[in-house]
Structure 1
Amino acid sequence: MSKEFEIAREFEVDATPEQMWDAITSGTGGWLWPMEFEPRQGGTGPFGSTLTNWEPPHRLTSRVEDVQGISQQTLNQIDETIEPRDDGRRSWMRYVHSGIFVDDWDNQYDGASRHTDFYLHTLREYVTHFAGRPVAFATFDGPEASMAFDAFTAVGRALGLADDTEAGARVTAHGPEGELLDAVLDFRNPYFIGLRTEGQLLRFFGRNHWGAPVGISVHDFAADADAKRDETAWRGWLNGVFAA
């Protein structure tokens, strides 16, 4: 059954409005995934959306209706407003994701709401530590076994994180092929883990909580970054966590 939803967040960040605008519209994969925008009002945006507001560097709205392949009415809109703070040295942002979910409303809303918090945290990490740097982006899902109810607990332990290690701690994480990663645990809750190294943002998604496999995204800012190499290495690591 179709039902409307709205997910709204507000925050301030140590980045200029221009840096924030570039982060959300350049589509490099620095904090989310690569996306393309036709830079004008009425232009096309990600996933076949229309840009109903294009006002750099202050307002961006993308809207898509009646998604192909879904018989019921659908609507998905993302509205982002950016205002300067401290004479333009900092920014305030309001992010509103709204629309219509057509099936399993509670589960979809819970997943979208929790993902929003993690994605926007990653945006703040990006503009604070890596803004404007070239990036190689990789993302993938784990094997079917990573859909188990305790799968994300296994991921944390495979990274070498104690169950009680909290966000903000500096850790030595266990990466692919025995590599030890000097990292900040920049985000952690039962659903997501974020690690920030000198040259990478590593994102771990406990999507097993919503009936899907665990996922990983790698945002690699190193001079020799290679998206395919990152995917191969971390996919092998994730498969190894759930090997029989």
Structure 2
Amino acid sequence: MSKEFEITREFEVDATPDEVWEAVTHGTGAYLWPMDPPEPRVGGAAAFGSTVTAWDPPRHLTIRSEDVGFSVQSVNQLEHVIEARDGGRRAWVRYVHSGVFTDDWDNQYDGAAKHTDFYLHTLREYLTHFAPRPVTFASLDGPEASTGADAFAAAGRALGLTDGDARGAELTVHGPQDFDAVLDYRDPYFIGLRTDSALIRLFGRNHWGAPVGISVHDFAADADAKATEGAWRNWLDKVYSQFP
């Protein structure tokens, strides 16, 4: 049964409105994934067949699609309202994700809401620590075994995280190789790791019936997306080679 949804979030960030606008229109690979920027006008084309319905830089952007192409969703709309704070040195952002889910409403809404919090946190991490550095993006999903109920907890253990490690902890992470990082986000569904040159995101999508995923937003000048993807894929395969 089709039903409308709306997910609204508001936050402030240490970035100018222009920097926020640039991130949400052209720098999406730095916190989401790379996508074609919207045409700069109302009625312009945007990513995934959507249309720009509000364009007022750097204050208001709305992008809408009524032919989403997903079996569980028919309408999707993303709106950003951006206002200056502290004389323009900071920005306040109101983000609204709305649309229509056509099936599995509770599960789809829960997943979308929790992903929204993680993506917007990653946006703030990018704006605070890395903007406007160019990004190299890599992403991958784990094997079928990573859809299991305890799969995301297993990934956390493999990284070397303990139950006592909370946001803000500085630690040595056991990834494809050991590296130092700040644990910038952690809940039962997501893990965020920030190094001097990258944002590493782990997604516990097993909670919604999908494999565990990883994305790496790498701001190093010599970043290699293919090598990064291969290294983390090998790591995931090893984690789940004898799971559960």
Fold conserved (TM > 0.5)?
yes
Residue 228 of structure 1 corresponds to which residue in structure 2?
A: 226
1:47-94, Cα deviation, whole Å (9 max, x unpaired): 110000111111110000033475x98211001000000000000000
Hey, what's the Cα distance between the residues in 2 that align with 1:69 and 1:162?
A: 37
Q: Secondary structure at the match of 1:4?
A: strand
Residue 101 of structure 2 corresponds to which residue in structure 1?
A: 101
The alignment's C-alpha RMSD in Å is 1.2
Residue 16 of structure 1 corresponds to which residue in structure 2?
A: 16
Hey, what's the Cα distance between the residues in 2 that align with 1:219 and 1:154?
A: 23
What is the one-letter code of the residue matched to 2:58?
A: P
Residue 200 of structure 1 corresponds to which residue in structure 2?
A: 198
Hey, what's the Cα distance between the residues in 1 that align with 2:235 and 2:148?
A: 17
Give TM-score scaled by structure 1 length: 0.96
Identity of aligned residues (%): 68
Alpha-carbon offset, residue 140 of structure 1: 1.1
Assess if the C-alpha contact under 8 Å between 1:156 and 1:163 holds in 2. Answer: no
Hey, what's the Cα distance between the residues in 1 that align with 2:94 and 2:196?
A: 29
What is the one-letter code of the residue matched to 2:236?
A: L
What is the one-letter code of the residue matched to 1:25?
A: T
Alpha-carbon offset, residue 181 of structure 1: 1.1
Going from structure 1 to structure 2, the CA distance change for 1:73 and 1:139 (only over 3 Å counts) comes to: closer
Runs (4+) off by over 4 Å: none
Assess if the C-alpha contact under 8 Å between 2:185 and 2:193 holds in 1. Answer: yes
Going from structure 1 to structure 2, the CA distance change for 1:105 and 1:73 (only over 3 Å counts) comes to: closer
Please state if 1:141 is matched with 2:128. no
Alpha-carbon offset, residue 27 of structure 1: 3.8
Give TM-score scaled by structure 2 length: 0.96
Please state if 1:64 is matched with 2:81. no
The answer for unaligned runs of 5 or more in structure 2 is none
The count of aligned residue pairs is 241
Please state if 1:242 is matched with 2:243. no
